[in-house]
């Protein structure tokens, strides 16, 4: 509903519905403490609000340059039509 103004009937209806239904739920999950505080302050939730921080798993890591190059080479071989998008033949930086 980000494209609609807060005064538009659809966001107002959604907010009213969520505010009515929230106390009836068995629990609430949030990804930040700020979201938990907002739910408590605006929806009057007292119990069963749990924060589960959203973070990547430990096996996620930055990709090295060589590994990234190998990935793009494999993708280019697997999808030849997409490989053309990486060509810089029409750049005239050598002038």
Q: What residues have CB less than 8 Å from 26, skipping those under 6 apart?
A: 48
Mean pLDDT, rounded, for 73-78 = 88
Per-residue pLDDT for 26 more than 70? yes
Is the pLDDT higher at 95 or at 79? 79
Per-residue pLDDT for 84 more than 80? no
Give the pLDDT band of residue 89 (cuts 50, 70, 90). low
Per-residue pLDDT for 57 more than 80? yes
Counting every residue, how long is the chain?
95
Residue 51: which H helix or E strand, with range? Answer: strand 49-51
Residue 14: which H helix or E strand, with range? Answer: helix 9-21
Q: What is the pLDDT of residue 1?
A: 41
How many beta carbons lie within 10 A of that of residue 56, not counting itself? 7
Q: Which CA distances in Å does 67 have to 21, 39, 56, 81?
A: 48, 43, 20, 22
pTM (two decimals)? 0.52
How many beta carbons lie within 10 A of that of residue 82, not counting itself? 11
Residue pointed to by tokens 């924060």? 51
Six-digit token string for 76: 């280019």
């Amino acid at each position: 509903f980000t494209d609609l103004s807060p005064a538009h009937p659809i966001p107002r209806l959604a907010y009213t519905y969520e505010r009515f239904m929230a106390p009836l739920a068995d629990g609430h999950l949030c990804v930040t403490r700020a979201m938990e505080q907002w739910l408590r302050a605006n929806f009057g939730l007292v119990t069963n609000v749990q924060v589960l921080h959203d973070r990547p798993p430990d096996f996620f890591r930055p990709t090295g340059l060589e590994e990234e190059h190998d990935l793009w080479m494999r993708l280019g071989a697997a999808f030849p039509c997409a490989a053309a998008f990486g060509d810089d033949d029409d750049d005239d930086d050598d002038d």
